[in-house]
Chains A and B, each alone.
Chain A
């Protein structure tokens, strides 16, 4: 087992890019290699040792045996663990864009918040964020229609807009609230949201499951009421309580499942949607 500890010396106003400092690349490196290494900052490179003190303990024969501990203020460090396939990274701070992007294995734990594109297009591994995330958590990158295909993301705080966009495998769990368009375009996989959801979860979804345990704001027209289920079992996990089950998005002949907690969302039971003024007005407008 090899432990590599980064201790911050100074911060940079332009972000450092850590996509080359992943266990797959550095499991053979000793301290002298780090001393030689220049880290990309903006359009040029600077010695890594200007920004971090690095301590290497133990030996590793594969990326899986590497543990990286990064201490300090990482608010301007991008691409941590990007494209990694094994090993472990612990960040004791909030991090910048693209943490765990395109990772295929290993573990990343962020003890703080993450900026946008956390866990983008992941295909495996485990990403845990103990604070909040910004937009596009576990989403596809701009233009791409194939998003996260495997692995697991857990966000302890709130997630920003378009969390799990184009999700096509794996699982995203948000223990806090979610902003608009969670799980838009998703085609497979599971999204679990313990908190409230602002509006429009699952827009244009083709398949997959979204579970919302908190209060749901507005639902898209493409979701039709299916039934009320007790203690649903989604891929081996049982959710306690009564849930309203919708199917959608029918605009695209989608067969996705949206489950929302019936006790919290009593207004959605009975005359569905009637109590939601804004929603009703849109529906009336469409009926014209």
Chain B
């Protein structure tokens, strides 16, 4: 089937197309340069046409979502809609049901969402859940930062074995890249402890967080994976964590990247939670400027923000000791989980209020990062869904970024006065334009994750396209911020793999989702040797048999395999 999107105003940062009026054509699921005269014309005159969104860091599938839904039934009472002939009933706000997640991302114009934390032991469950989320492609990042085997390899400096281990475990869990959460800290939580700073050792492992990060980064580049290490550094959410964050960045400075698709060798997720200065919450202030200064200078670092949106939401992370700290602060119901030899996890509801000084500080730091980091290719729009806010708030964040007026309105009337004394936000008047927005929501995340089939409107790429009912020549985003929020919240068209999923703001088609996983070639012998080496340990300490551990092919619905030729 051939289509032509006529007379749209196209923003495609990867091809440096900035608001040009032109036609976008696609055929059989791919963007093409020209179509025949039989092509179906979709009139999008004076509407914004962008590649479909790519969310670089979100928590949408996996066991912790299920635990969250089970123990927060009050969240499922929100956002309930009746089922229709096409759609299932929707429910949930911060932890929506699986179909709801797919529908809502589609309405925002997103096509790909990266599930940012998958314990390999729970990979089967994660992939089962991915299969029930419609309309979006979901690669998942397995957790490596606290894995006992990784800690052992890192201590002994066995980078070759570690590379073979990563290569094997990506195949076993059908994962996309290397995720590290609070390295050594979640392992320490098994003993009721945490690590502070990157030079602390994991108890009984005699290895520091820095050694783990460096080892994983080296192994990652050795394999030449499409995505760099994806790290959630130590000391999340603790006042005074800026030095830890900067030391983490500094620790991988000398490691050369080994993949043509991306520029970075370290992607730091939800950087907002890692940019707090001060010693305690009493004297906490924003460290965003210092962190942004480093990111501006460094070519090897990218980040996503994790913007706080002032909602009642649910935090869920593999950083279990941090969740315990939150529980001590808020006293709300808290749930905690240990994943055997791999990681831990915690969940707790949280209410971000503009009246709270700490929440105001977090909100301001997020926006400061967006405004201080000069190159939009280094920063992505996320809320770390659902930790800092649900993803349905992305349009609101866009309106904050595009309108200084709206930010000042909030600073003057809504938020706590700490915003004046402890942050630089009131002094910043930068405003994003549509090209920058297209970069931070589509082009940059796709490049950072090393996708070579999405995130741009290049011929040969997947026809993942979003059309918004905005005429950029007719609207002043600085003044009409409410309209911007409304229009970015509901697309005119969302097209995924050439199929029209949303038309005139309504979902017209539900499509099965895919998962994307990385298949490393050239390490088969080493993988076999590593697995044989760890087998006695696995049999002794894991609660399941090796035969039941890997995710078999039939668990995946429509897998997209990314083959990587590893250099040795």
Contact = CB atoms under 8 A, between A and B. Distances in A.
Interface of A: 141-145
Contacts of B41: none
B72 interface: yes
Interface string B306-321: 0000000000000000
Contacts of B73: 141-143
A143 B333 CA distance: 9
6 contacts: A141-B77, A142-B73, A143-B71, A143-B74, A144-B74, A145-B332
A144 B74 CA distance: 5
A71 to B, nearest CB: 30
A145 B75 CA distance: 12
A145 B72 CA distance: 10
Interface in B319-349: 332-333
Nearest to A144: B74
Interface in B65-94: 71-75, 77
A132 to B, nearest CB: 26
A145 B348 CA distance: 13
Contacts of B77: 141
Contacts of A141: 73-74, 77
The winner among B71, B72, B74 for most chain A CB atoms within 10 A is B74
Contacts of A142: 73-74
B334 to A, nearest CB: 12
A141 B74 CA distance: 7
A142 B73 CA distance: 7
Interface string B36-73: 00000000000000000000000000000000000111
A145 B333 CA distance: 9
Nearest to B332: A145
Interface in B8-34: none
A142 B71 CA distance: 9
Contacts, number: 13
A36 B73 CA distance: 34
A96 to B, nearest CB: 19
Nearest to A206: B331
Nearest to A40: B82
Contacts of B72: 143
B398 to A, nearest CB: 31
A145 B330 CA distance: 13
Interface in B140-195: none
Given A143-B72, A143-B73, A143-B74, 10 more contacts: A141-B73, A141-B74, A141-B77, A142-B73, A142-B74, A143-B71, A143-B75, A144-B74, A145-B332, A145-B333
Contacts of A144: 74
A142 B74 CA distance: 7
A144 B349 CA distance: 11
Nearest to A252: B331
Contacts of A145: 332-333
Nearest to A146: B74
A145 B71 CA distance: 12
A212 B74 CA distance: 31
A267 B238 CA distance: 52
A267 to B, nearest CB: 35
A145 B74 CA distance: 9
A144 B312 CA distance: 12
Nearest to A43: B83
Contacts of B74: 141-144
Nearest to B331: A252
A27 to B, nearest CB: 24
A34 B315 CA distance: 46
Interface string B438-467: 000000000000000000000000000000
A142 B75 CA distance: 10
Nearest to A140: B74
Contacts of A143: 71-75
A97 to B, nearest CB: 15
B98 to A, nearest CB: 19
A143 B72 CA distance: 6
Contacts of B333: 145
A13 to B, nearest CB: 23
A119 B333 CA distance: 24
Nearest to A142: B73
Contacts of B75: 143
A19 to B, nearest CB: 12
A238 B380 CA distance: 62
A232 B74 CA distance: 37
A278 to B, nearest CB: 29
Contacts of B332: 145
A142 B72 CA distance: 9
The winner among A142, A143, A144 for most chain B CB atoms within 10 A is A143
A143 B68 CA distance: 11
Contacts of B71: 143
B349 to A, nearest CB: 8
A143 B73 CA distance: 5
7 pairs of A and B residues whose beta carbons are closest in the complex: A143-B73, A144-B74, A143-B74, A142-B73, A143-B72, A141-B74, A145-B333
Interface string B397-433: 0000000000000000000000000000000000000
A223 to B, nearest CB: 20
A78 to B, nearest CB: 16
A144 B78 CA distance: 12
A276 to B, nearest CB: 31
B95 to A, nearest CB: 12
Nearest to B70: A143
Nearest to B75: A143
A144 to B, nearest CB: 4
A143 B347 CA distance: 14
Nearest to B76: A143
Nearest to B349: A145
A142 B333 CA distance: 13
A32 to B, nearest CB: 25
A174 B333 CA distance: 29
A141 B332 CA distance: 16
B281 to A, nearest CB: 20
Interface string B83-112: 000000000000000000000000000000
A142 B77 CA distance: 10
A49 B61 CA distance: 46
B326 to A, nearest CB: 15
A51 to B, nearest CB: 21
A127 B64 CA distance: 40
A141 B72 CA distance: 11
A9 B304 CA distance: 62
A144 B77 CA distance: 10
A64 to B, nearest CB: 27
A144 B72 CA distance: 8
Nearest to B71: A143
B315 to A, nearest CB: 16
A43 to B, nearest CB: 9
